[in-house]
């Protein structure tokens, strides 16, 4: 990787990653790529919406699950939906997304560092 693509520590510290809990999952048939519309509770930060390409999970299995999300990106218009946070996951060789989540229950809104 060329050094022109590396973040410095001050830039990384600006990324605000928090723990949230998926409260609602809705179909998003208007999305170009298969996705869900999520409502995520971040505790003291309130609830936020996200469009997430995680349809390799069953919607009912996502309800109540804790996730890691970036909460300080600008909102993004995706078709008729405004996505407020970016849910994080690892993209495996098959193309599926494996959600990042804490290994133990965390207080909602907890900062990830």
Q: Is residue 27 part of a domain?
A: yes
**What average pLDDT does this structure show over 97-103?**
94
The predicted pLDDT at position 56 comes to 95
Per-residue tokens: 90: 């690892």
Q: Is residue 68 part of a domain?
A: yes
Domains in the chain, number: 1
pLDDT in tens, 6-49: 889 998 899 999 999 999 999 999 999 999 999 999 999 999 99
Q: Is residue 113 part of a domain?
A: no
Share of the chain above pLDDT 90, in %: 85
The predicted pLDDT at position 6 comes to 87
Report field, pTM of the whole predicted structure over 0.85? yes
Evaluate if residue 4 carries a pLDDT over 90.
no
Domain span holding position 88: 14-105
Residues 25-57: b if buried by 16+ CB within 10 A, e if exposed? beebeebeeebbbbebbbeeeebbbbbbbbbeb
**What average pLDDT does this structure show over 86-112?**
95
Q: Is residue 5 part of a domain?
A: no
Backbone angles phi and psi of 73, in degrees to 5: -80, 155
């Amino acid at each position: 990787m060329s050094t022109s693509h590396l973040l410095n520590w001050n830039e990384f510290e600006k990324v605000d990653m928090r723990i949230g809990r998926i409260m609602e999952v809705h179909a998003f048939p208007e999305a170009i790529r298969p996705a869900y519309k999520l409502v995520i509770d971040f505790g003291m930060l309130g609830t936020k919406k996200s469009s997430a390409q995680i349809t390799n999970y069953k919607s009912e299995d996502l309800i109540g699950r804790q996730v890691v999300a970036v909460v300080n990106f600008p909102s993004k218009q995706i078709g008729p939906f405004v996505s407020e946070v970016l849910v994080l996951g690892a993209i495996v060789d098959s193309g599926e997304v494996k959600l990042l989540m804490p290994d133990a229950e965390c207080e909602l809104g907890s900062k990830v560092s």
